[in-house]
Every structure is written in structure tokens, then in C-alpha cells.
Amino acid sequence: MVCMAEGDHLRWRGKAYAAAAARAGKEVETVESAGVGHVFYLLDPDMDEAREMLARIAGFVNGVAGRNRASSERDGAAATRA
């Protein structure tokens, strides 16, 4: 997951990183928050855009953790049968 802010002067780096990861065959999800600038989520963590971005990050992390957990459980079950 690559998170960017519309008004961030470093947004181009996030876009370049996401493109490079996709070219390398990685699953990439990008999130671009409109109308905000660099580190907006740190400067005002109570603003709606910050809460929305942090919720999306949490959802992404929980999804990855769930996939990894399921994969580990399958691997463990296969090793037990072997």
C-alpha cells in the first residue's frame, strides 16, 4: 500500500514507487487523499481525511495479516500430514 496526499510535494515519489513495485510483480494498492498536504495525518490526526486514511491502512494490514495467517495454517497442516 502506498499512501499519498494530493498536496504533497513528494507525491511523485509515491507514484514512482507504486509503479516500480507493480512492474516487479507486486500487488500494489494506492491511496491518494484529496485536498491535504504532506504528513497531514500527523499534523491533525482528528481530521476526517486522516481517520479515513488510517482506517484504510488498518484494513490493508489486517487483510495481509489474515492472508498470511491462513497460508501459515495451511503450511502447518500440510507439514503435519507429511
Rounded to two decimals, the pTM is 0.73
pLDDT at 65: 83
Q: Of 52, 57, 61, 14, nearest to 44 (Cα)?
A: 52
pLDDT band per the 50, 70, 90 thresholds, residue 64: confident
What local confidence, expressed as pLDDT, does residue 66 receive?
Answer: 84
Q: Tell me the per-residue pLDDT of 33-50, one tens digit each, with 9 for 90 and over.
A: 999 999 999 999 999 999
pLDDT in tens, 3-21: 999 999 999 999 999 999 9
Alpha-carbon distance of 80 to 44, in angstroms, equals 50
Query: What is the chain's length?
Result: 82
